[in-house]
Amino acid sequence: EILGALMSMIIVWMVTGVLTYLACMRLLHPDYDIDATAMLVTSACAVLANILLSLILHQTGHGHSHGAQARGHVSAPLEKPALSNASLRAAFVHAIGDLFQSISVLISALIIFFKPQYKIADPICTFVFSVFVLATTIPILRDILTVLMEGK
């Protein structure tokens, strides 16, 4: 479980690193073309898919019943909340990271669609959202390393 969470964090960091590298290349070599329509459609689909995935991951492990005992709103026995599970938290943060990257691409696509001369918006949005994604993974990485090192 913990190794799966670690792999998820490593993948998030690798993808973010590749996106940051490509954004740097676009700043250094601005002679590229962008198909804003394809970028817009793809990023909108990715935003919707990542919202759905994030909602599903966040709802996993819902702690009380809505069945016959729902009238009294009886809670289930105290268990670890779903997102205290390291691999679920890592998957959730991975989905949120993907969501924010998709939002970044969507914002860039909207800017470029209406103002093609502002194609620099693509690398700028990539930088801004990459910093956010990396910052959100640090607490989970700390938890993962604590478990791997058997710390308290």
* 1-22 pLDDT tens trace: 788 888 888 888 898 899 899 9
- 67, part of any domain: no
For residue range 98-127, what is the model confidence (pLDDT) as tens digits?
888 888 889 999 999 999 999 999 899 889
pTM (predicted TM-score): 0.66
Spatial contact of 105 and 39, defined as CB atoms under 8 Å apart: yes
Q: Is residue 40 part of a domain?
A: yes
Does the residue 92 lie in any domain? yes
Chain Cα centroid distance, residue 108: 17
Same domain, yes or no, for 27 and 89? no
Indicate if 113 and 42 belong to the same structural domain.
Answer: yes
Domain total in the chain: 2
> Is the same domain home to 90 and 49?
yes
Q: Which domain holds residue 107?
A: 33-60+84-118
Q: Let me know if residue 76 belongs to a domain.
A: no
Which pairs from 98-101 meet CB under 8 Å and 24+ separation? 98/46, 98/50, 98/53, 99/47, 99/50, 99/51, 99/54, 100/129, 100/132, 100/133, 101/15, 101/16, 101/19, 101/126, 101/129, 101/130, 101/133
Same domain assignment for residues 56 and 105:
yes
Q: Is residue 140 part of a domain?
A: yes
Whether residue 113 sits in one domain with residue 90:
yes
108 and 39 within one domain:
yes
27 lies in the same domain as 37? no
